[in-house]
Amino acid sequence: MKTKPVAGEDIDRVVAATRGSTLFESLDDDQLRQAVTQATLLQLDPGESLIRQGEPPGASSSSSRASCGCSWRQLPAATRSK
Domain boundaries, the chain: 1-46
Q: Which amino acid is at 23?
A: L
Does residue 2 carry a pLDDT above 70? yes
Q: What is the pLDDT of residues 18-77, one digit of tens each?
A: 888 888 889 999 999 998 998 888 888 888 877 777 877 665 554 444 445 555 555 555
pLDDT at site 58: 62
> Using CA atoms, how far apart are residues 16 and 13, in angstroms rounded to an integer?
5
> Using CA atoms, how far apart are residues 61 and 48, in angstroms rounded to an integer?
10
